[in-house]
Structure 1
């Protein structure tokens, strides 16, 4: 039975979109479990994402970091303060404007990212042990393409109210 106010995937003609969407829900559920474990180890998921983004971008102003992660500068400021306190990020004078500062990952922050990446890669490789290498490569290629397209589309979806927006029937 379909819940009131919802169209079934078959009725909407979006069966594949529904399959992908539901797989994303399942991935988000698992990411929440990973985030919970990370928090137990002393780092929340949002801080880890900030640190990884900053390491990838290189030194930048907090406003650029906020834009890169599609977040509010005041939220970033609070999260960065914790990363600075923990010695994973440092503030440096902006070479272009000495009155301003830029954020940069510290050696300790980079070391943490490297170790987490190693552990993640070992775990993912174990998941694919039974896959043919060609299948794994094809999946990786298609998944990277999906993520890139999704990253490009998300800002538009959000501005159009297409994702995360409440509709009249939701509470």
Structure 2
């Protein structure tokens, strides 16, 4: 698990996807991360710069600068919340959707190469066990933080 976390921390799939873009694309890993966050989070709620900062675990002013850069590059657009007209939201533009689709293609290719020698039964078993692991970890994390005395997650609850 530690090795997987290190690989994900290095954002190896994003690095592969970025390396496949044309010269002069101007994209950085942090740009890619925010496009992915807006794409995913935007499926079930409005996305604000604050929610981007929280998910990226970065300062809101840094998130604001990156979002502004993505707006200039035509990947994101700013809008007004339908729930609260005082709140600004960000959404993907067509170019942002294309960039996210590129990342998803790369992700599927990487996983496909990784699993190409696995049997259908192995893949199915892995999928079930990994889903169970993530679900159980997600459900138990708040209690673990509380029981083990961590203040970090408790303040987020």
Q: TM-score, normalised by structure 1?
A: 0.64
Q: Is the 8 A contact 1:90 1:105 kept in 2?
A: yes
Match of 1:113 in 2: 100
Q: Which region of structure 1 is more displaced relative to structure 2, 128-137 or 50-59?
A: 50-59
Shift of 1:56: 1.8
Which residue of 18, 24, 28 corresponds with 1:44?
28
> Unpaired segments of 5 or more residues in structure 2?
153-157
Say if 2:75 is the partner of 1:91.
no
Superposition RMSD in Å: 3.4
Match of 1:124 in 2: 111
> Unpaired segments of 5 or more residues in structure 1?
1-19, 163-171
Match of 1:82 in 2: 69
Match of 1:54 in 2: 38
- From the superposition, tell whether residues 113 and 136 of structure 1 become closer, same or farther in structure 2 (CA, over 3 Å): same
Say if 2:134 is the partner of 1:160.
no
SS at match of 2:78: strand
Q: Determine the C-alpha separation between the residues in 1 that align with 2:137 and 2:108.
A: 22
Shift of 1:149: 5.4
Deviations 1:64-83 (A, max 9, x none): 22223333212211111111
The higher-RCO structure (CA 8 Å, 6+ apart) is: 2
Q: Is the 8 A contact 2:17 2:106 kept in 1?
A: no
Shift of 1:115: 2.4
Number of residue-to-residue matches in the alignment: 141
Which residue of 88, 91, 95 corresponds with 1:101?
88
